[in-house]
Structure 1
Amino acid sequence: MSSSPSPLRSARGSRLALLVVGLCWLAVLFDGLDMFIYGSVLPHLLETRTFGLTADQAGDLGSYATFGMLVGALVAGTIADRIGRKKLMVSCVILFSLASGVCALADSVTVFGLGRTLAGVGLGGLLPTAISMVSDYAPRGRGAIVIGLLMTAHHAGGILSAYVAKWLIDPVGWRAAFWVCVLPLLFAPVLAKLLPESLSFLVAKGRREEARALAERYDVEVPAARTGGAGDRWTNLANLFRGNEWIQTLLYWVASFGGLLLVYGVATWLPTLMRAEGYELGSALSFVVVFNLGGIVGMLVAGRAADRFGAPRISALWFALTAAGVFLLSIHMDMTVTMIVVFFTGVFLNSAQTMIYATVSIRSDADNRATAVGWTSGMGRFGAVLGPWLGGQLLASGNGDRGFTAFAIAGLSSMVFIGIAALRSSQQTATDSERELVAAH
């Protein structure tokens, strides 16, 4: 019979686990800063015609970063399996920091676009790795709460990006904002020194004694060894399309596509579209702060609401409310009313997509869960690439006032698809229950 951990060991383990979560939170904070900084400086770049930048080119540049994130997210798992989660996190911080230096030094759209693409690769690789790290070291029974707290860092980075732009663009220039995004280079050595290696990686590499020692030190459980290889992963993917499952799978994928189109489209173009609606630059950047404050609140509220009412219902409702909020932003209203709308749009928008992942996770079998969620996220990333491009095309064609409407339609489409998927799943569950009841009698 194993003995329970002593109060002293538990307290010490909690403090050390807090260190891991804190380091990952700071890394994701810098991730969010680098992601949102482009949207924060974009109105200035367009007004001053920096590099001769046009609206459609600006949309392309926004898509470069999200395309880089797609690449980074897809290759992160493979690279992490080779070099370890810790080294990958440090490498990602170094990559997107140096890439921001490329943007700060850029003398053409081409060089600037290269910098944003490289930054996207680092940004895309860091977030899933950080989630894996905090999951390994979260105190027992606190994994979901810790991941929710970690995700608030991304929106805190968005808030920071707006203040960096407000404080530096007028007195110093837009390049200074990207030099600030180089500063996380100073954090990389701290991360390398203090962050322990991922327990999952150590177990996967057969270093169980090292993993056990770390687990005892941090008062966490040693993850179970993964079974199977690439063949099982492809089998799990094929299972998503067996029978009528392909309908459900495609519904989740399309909902995720629309959700991330909405998230990254609004994140990139919010300040510029608000400027187009007649607000001053300072006010437009204040909307970024309020929007991301809403995102932080939303991340903390959505999980509790989903636990009580069901993730599919909350996801569909959240997307409907997001669409309403985004559409209202196309109307020039009183500043106070607009701020309230922006806040609640941030609350619902930034957690609606997360609820899609929660829905897929809940509806999937344990053996297929990681594959189902991973591919739903991956397909959604194509929407993340399209969103910034779409906003640029609308502005370039003189239809910037329709940008919010287009993003609202994306939100409604996600609401419809996730709603249909949830309804089909409920009907299937009811049918299975009836069959079991008949068989029992």
Structure 2
Amino acid sequence: MSSSPALSSRGSRLALLVVALCWVAVLFDGLDMFIYGSVLPHMLEQKALGITSGQAGDLGSYATFGMLVGALAAGTVADRVGRRKLMLACVTLFSLASGLCAVADGVTVFGLGRTLAGVGLGGLLPTAISMVSDYAPRGRAALTIGLLMTAHHAGGILSAYVALWIVEPLGWRAAFWVCVLPLLFVPVLFKWLPESLSFLVAKGRTEEARELAGRFDVELPAATGRTSGAAWANLAHLFRGREWIQTLLYWLASFGGLLLVYGVATWLPTLMRSEGYELGSALTFVVLFNLGGIVGMLVAGRASDRFGAPRISAIWFALTAAGVFLLSVHMPLALTFVVVFLTGVFLNSAQTMIYATVSIGSSPAHRATAVGWTSGMGRFGAVFGPWLGGQLLAADQGDWGFTAFAIAGVSSMVFIGIAAVRTAKRPPAADGTGHKLVAAH
């Protein structure tokens, strides 16, 4: 079962330190992820690298394919070598890959850079989620994860302003040079980010865990049993008994959710420009969408800790589908701003509450694998979403892009809704920390 250390007043410093460091890392993750969509209208307008609308969708899918690889590998690697080392490696990788994009002399090199960046981006998110879950206060795991994910959308907002203030005077390459700056944060992570106490205990590194717990006056979490450490053994754990049904429901919901998230994130500015809005207005949509994401994370996290993450996720996906569909309808600008904001509120946090469900219900020894594979399988949708948007836009069917994304939201609502019903039928259970389990793996 999930285990979080009991936090004393001094122990709260450790929780704050871990969440703060992970928040900044995820901020850079969001900047790097959203920067392509923010600069894409400029690149298409200037015919940078000879990119066409169809190729632009392919390039967006390269990054999400890399995220698929990174997420699938990261969960297993983190459960074997530790969350801290993997976070350092991921930030380093996506920062250097952005530098490759900045110096690219053609579509091939640029695509390679986005793919490598995706590997780092995909590996960081599930690892950071697992890390903060370990240190979350009792009964506040979903809220803590929601707080962490506000950083991702703060990065999206930052990407819009980078595009607005830097791309016009200095060109699109300057935006990717900005995304190299997170390298300066790696030494800070190296010095201050501790390893997960639960990971250390699960791996039998009790002396190291005891020293860390003593330094911050934190209660050492109880051992939950050693695992073999084999990658496939951790994955097989997710399919024991009838848990394979719940696992597949989360994977399918994540597929539709990430198709929606990355399809909209990549194409929102371009689709809105195709509707006749100016570039400044199109980038304002990015800001509003991500501001909504920040609000949504905090609201959904609090609601999920009270009512259950699967239930909140299903409701949020239903509201997302309605909002995305409305974007295909021509409305006054002010009303469109409101719809984009509300869509951001529900869309981004709906997907994150899937991760919260899996993370809260997983044992420390298997948590990163469970979250990583849920994220990783969802990345197939993240690959498909940008490609689908590009094909529809190339065929001059931009309005159908919003409709297709809305259908994806409905499918995720159905799958996570079924998971919520299955969870509700289970007898209440508590882990050693007082969490009411939202799901079990």
Q: Does 1:403 align with 2:401?
A: yes
TM-score by length of 2: 0.86
The residue type equivalent to 2:13 in the other structure is R
CA contact (8 A) 2:328 2:400 kept: yes
1:158 Cα deviation after fit: 0.6
Within a 5 Å distance, the mapping from 1:206-285 to structure 2 comes to: 206-225=204-223, 226-229=225-228, 230=230, 232-233=233-234, 235-239=236-240, 242=242, 249-285=247-283
1:374 Cα deviation after fit: 4.9
1:358 Cα deviation after fit: 4.6
CA contact (8 A) 1:51 1:107 kept: yes
Q: Which of 380, 383, 402 in structure 2 is aligned with 1:382?
A: 380
1:258 Cα deviation after fit: 0.9
The residue type equivalent to 2:38 in the other structure is S
Question: Which sections of structure 1, spanning at least 5 residues, go unmatched?
Answer: 1-8, 430-441
Distance in 1, Cα, partners of 2:37 & 2:27? 16
The residue type equivalent to 2:226 in the other structure is T
Going from structure 1 to structure 2, the CA distance change for 1:53 and 1:235 (only over 3 Å counts) comes to: closer
**Match in the other structure for 1:293:** 291
Within a 5 Å distance, the mapping from 1:72-111 to structure 2 comes to: 72-81=70-79, 83-111=81-109
The residue type equivalent to 2:240 in the other structure is N
Distance in 1, Cα, partners of 2:399 & 2:252? 25
Question: Which sections of structure 2, spanning at least 5 residues, go unmatched?
Answer: 1-6, 428-441
Higher relative contact order (CA 8 A, sep 6+): 2
The residue type equivalent to 1:227 in the other structure is R
- Partner SS for 1:413: helix
Distance in 2, Cα, partners of 1:43 & 1:114? 20
**Match in the other structure for 1:349:** 347
Structure 1 residues 362-404: Cα deviation after superposition (integer angstroms, max 9, x where no partner): 8889999876655433321211111111111111122122111
Within a 5 Å distance, the mapping from 1:88-237 to structure 2 comes to: 88-139=86-137, 142-225=140-223, 226-229=225-228, 230=230, 232-233=233-234, 235-237=236-238
The aligned length equals: 419
CA contact (8 A) 1:257 1:379 kept: yes
Going from structure 1 to structure 2, the CA distance change for 1:248 and 1:28 (only over 3 Å counts) comes to: closer
Taking every aligned residue pair, what percent have the same amino acid on both sides?
80
Structure 1 residues 175-201: Cα deviation after superposition (integer angstroms, max 9, x where no partner): 111111011111111221222233234
CA contact (8 A) 2:139 2:305 kept: no
Distance in 1, Cα, partners of 2:423 & 2:204? 39
Distance in 2, Cα, partners of 1:89 & 1:422? 31
Deviates more, 1:325-334 or 1:276-285: 325-334
Going from structure 1 to structure 2, the CA distance change for 1:91 and 1:165 (only over 3 Å counts) comes to: same
CA contact (8 A) 2:213 2:219 kept: yes
**Match in the other structure for 2:3:** none
CA contact (8 A) 2:358 2:370 kept: yes
Structure 1 residues 141-172: Cα deviation after superposition (integer angstroms, max 9, x where no partner): 55443322111111110110001100011111
Distance in 2, Cα, partners of 1:10 & 1:234? 34
Going from structure 1 to structure 2, the CA distance change for 1:264 and 1:144 (only over 3 Å counts) comes to: same
- Partner SS for 1:196: coil
Going from structure 1 to structure 2, the CA distance change for 1:375 and 1:80 (only over 3 Å counts) comes to: closer
CA contact (8 A) 1:136 1:223 kept: no
- Partner SS for 2:170: coil
CA contact (8 A) 1:257 1:382 kept: yes
Deviates more, 1:325-334 or 1:311-320: 311-320
Structure 1 residues 315-343: Cα deviation after superposition (integer angstroms, max 9, x where no partner): 22211111111111112222211111011
Distance in 2, Cα, partners of 1:213 & 1:72? 31
**Match in the other structure for 1:438:** none
1:249 Cα deviation after fit: 4.5
CA contact (8 A) 1:14 1:219 kept: no
1:43 Cα deviation after fit: 0.8
Going from structure 1 to structure 2, the CA distance change for 1:185 and 1:389 (only over 3 Å counts) comes to: same
The residue type equivalent to 1:228 in the other structure is T
Going from structure 1 to structure 2, the CA distance change for 1:249 and 1:167 (only over 3 Å counts) comes to: same
1:352 Cα deviation after fit: 1.3
- Partner SS for 1:104: helix
1:16 Cα deviation after fit: 4.3
TM-score by length of 1: 0.86
Deviates more, 1:199-208 or 1:277-286: 199-208
Going from structure 1 to structure 2, the CA distance change for 1:78 and 1:290 (only over 3 Å counts) comes to: same
CA contact (8 A) 2:252 2:415 kept: yes
**Match in the other structure for 2:40:** 42
The residue type equivalent to 2:58 in the other structure is D
CA contact (8 A) 1:270 1:288 kept: yes
- Partner SS for 2:169: coil
Which structure features the higher share of helix residues?
1
Q: Which is higher, the Rg of structure 1 or of structure 2? A: 1
Deviates more, 1:135-144 or 1:315-324: 135-144
CA contact (8 A) 1:255 1:418 kept: yes
1:137 Cα deviation after fit: 3.8
**Match in the other structure for 2:59:** 61
1:424 Cα deviation after fit: 5.5
CA contact (8 A) 2:69 2:122 kept: yes
